[in-house]
Amino acid sequence: MRSKFLSICFSYLLIGCFGGTDTKPEPIVEPEPIVKPEPIEETDEVQEQAEALKFPSNISNHYISMALETGDINLLRNIMPDIEGNFRFRTLYSGAARNSLHFYLQHDKYLGWQYEGEYSIQNPEDGVLEIEAHLTESDVKFDIEMSYLEDNAGQWQMEIQQQVLSGTFEVAPTVPLTEYQLKGSTDTNIQIVSSLLNFTYQYHVYLPEGYQDNIKDYPLVIKTDGNYGFIEFSKQLELNQTKAIFVAIEQGPDGRREIDFREPGVSAYLDFYEHEFLPELQSLYRIDEEQRTLFGHSYGGLLVRSAMIRDKRSVNEQLPRLFRNYIAADGAYWYQEGIYKEQEDEVYGNQISFPGVFVLAGANFQGLAPQVADYKNALLQRNINDLSIFHESYNMNHNQVIHPVFSKGISLIFPRK
């Protein structure tokens, strides 16, 4: 059967959560930069503990990529429904003598957590590690036995509900996004003066490795709220092996975010994209006009909704569209919902083909998951020709969901070859 991949890495640090949401009726709080854990140094004491217990000492701050070769992945999904190939277990572990340590389910390369639990190490032996894990808020327990056949690889076996899953694993060092060095190039703090809106916006550009060495065109990914996380998202693109130009445009001054991203001001803001911003980018960089993607969070997700409506209207009128693909994280779809539905009734009634990908997700904790799910269901009922819609809900808060949705969207729009 097709292999499914999970990853485990060990240490005892914990990750904190932060809030902030465009959820009604709370005021908007902008996303804070996400704090990543610092790597733990392999101290002499830790090394001595590991050697005394004949425990493989090289797994601190490492991922262990596990390929499932025998067994049914649905056994895991019955316990943790969100598990897919791009999810991983991550625990933070240092020192072999500790018990009741925490583990989390991590989405791809984002250090935000889906599920939480505790684990303990049972009877470490030479070359063999036995782990007992227990999910928080559940009676489910399972055991993992890892047998090292060489320094960084071996075979694993897991027992769930008296059924066995097994496969191979490979150890690789953890590379936190904070430490990863970009291979591509960046140009920051570029300004564009909009004559349409009479405002100046600042944006930042990432060019993938090798851009200067060829003449080909590249996909474009635009992120709203570009004053947050430009370098971090650029790193995510590289770690996902996505060769694309990434542009993060900052919100305008004087509270322009609430004007530009929502009705009634969003139409003028998208005029700025069509007549000023995108033409400037196209003139400066080699961009594939058929592969432009818009990513937004919260009110930015509402902007994505408006961009889709505008693009469908353009397609109906046989005019060029702004974007082909869309990613929305915990969009604020509660806002003036009736206005958007009227617009969608107008444009989506025409069954002209609207090819593209739309990835949207909601946050279950202090987020907008119910509204996001309602919006997704309404779109599906419209049977929009050739638009692929992907939806998930994450057990995260409003701000934490940004990175997993971006990573998921990029992997679906630009699958690895």
Tell me the pLDDT tens digit for each residue of 165-179: 888 877 665 566 667
Is the pLDDT score of 37 beyond 60? Answer: no
Domains and CATH numbers, the chain: 5-173 (no CATH), 185-413 (3.40.50.1820)
Q: Which two tokens mark 190?
A: 């570029």
Residue 359, pLDDT above cutoff 80:
yes
Whether 36 has a pLDDT exceeding 50, the answer reads no
User: What is the predicted pLDDT for the residue at 253?
Assistant: 82
**Mean pLDDT lowest among 117-126, 258-267, 320-329:** 117-126
- What pLDDT band is residue 307 in, cutting at 50, 70 and 90? very high
Task: Using pLDDT thresholds of 50, 70 and 90, give the confidence band for residue 248.
Answer: very high
325-329 and 287-297 beta bridge pairing: parallel
| Average pLDDT along the chain | 78
State pTM to two decimals: 0.67
Q: pLDDT-based confidence at 43, cuts 50/70/90?
A: very low
- Structure confidence by residue, pLDDT tens digits, 93-126: 323 333 334 455 544 433 344 566 676 766 666 7
Q: Where residue 135 falls among pLDDT bands split at 50, 70, 90?
A: confident
- Among 8-22, 211-225, 241-255, 296-310, the range scoring the smallest mean pLDDT is 8-22
More confident call, 26 vs 227: 227
Q: Residue 30: name the closest of 227, 306, 199 by CA.
A: 227
Q: Which residue has the tokens 């070769």?
A: 69
Poorest-confidence range of 44-48, 195-199, 276-280, 303-307?
Answer: 44-48
pLDDT higher than threshold 50 for residue 17: no
Main-chain phi, psi angles of 305, to 5 degrees = -60, -45
Q: Are 357 and 390 in contact (CB under 8 A)?
A: yes
Q: Are 202 and 101 in contact (CB under 8 A)?
A: no
